[in-house]
A and B are shown apart, each in its own frame.
Chain A
Amino acid sequence: GEDVEQSLFLSVREGDSSVINCTYTDSSSTYLYWYKQEPGAGLQLLTYIFSNMDMKQDQRLTVLLNKKDKHLSLRIADTQTGDSAIYFCAERYNNNDMRFGAGTRLTVKP
Chain B
Amino acid sequence: DVKVTQSSRYLVKRTGEKVFLECVQDMDHENMFWYRQDPGLGLRLIYFSYDVKMKEKGDIPEGYSVSREKKERFSLILESASTNQTSMYLCASLPVGAGELFFGEGSRLTVL
A contact set with B: CB distance below 8 Å: 4, 8, 31, 33, 35, 40-45, 48, 88, 90, 95-96, 98, 100-103
Contact = CB atoms under 8 A, between A and B. Distances in A.
A42 B105 contact: yes
Given A44-B103, A45-B100, A102-B41, 13 more contacts: A8-B40, A31-B98, A33-B100, A33-B101, A41-B105, A42-B103, A43-B43, A43-B92, A88-B43, A90-B101, A96-B94, A98-B33, A100-B35
Contacts of B102: 45
Interface string B28-64: 0001010100001111010010100000000000000
B71 to A, nearest CB: 15
Interface of B is mostly: strand
B100 A42 contact: no
A8 B40 CA distance: 7
Contact of A96 (B35, B41, B96, B106): B96
A48 B103 CA distance: 15
16 contacts: A4-B42, A8-B40, A31-B100, A41-B106, A42-B4, A42-B104, A43-B101, A43-B103, A45-B101, A45-B102, A96-B31, A96-B48, A98-B33, A100-B43, A101-B42, A102-B40
Nearest to A101: B42
A59 B104 CA distance: 26
Interface residues of B, number: 23
B81 interface: no
B21 interface: no
A48 B33 CA distance: 19
A43 B90 contact: yes
Contacts of A102: 40-42
Contacts of A90: 101
Given A88-B42, A90-B101, A98 B94 contact: yes
Q: Closest 7 A-B residue pairs measured CB to CB?
A: A102-B42, A42-B103, A100-B43, A43-B103, A42-B105, A45-B100, A42-B106
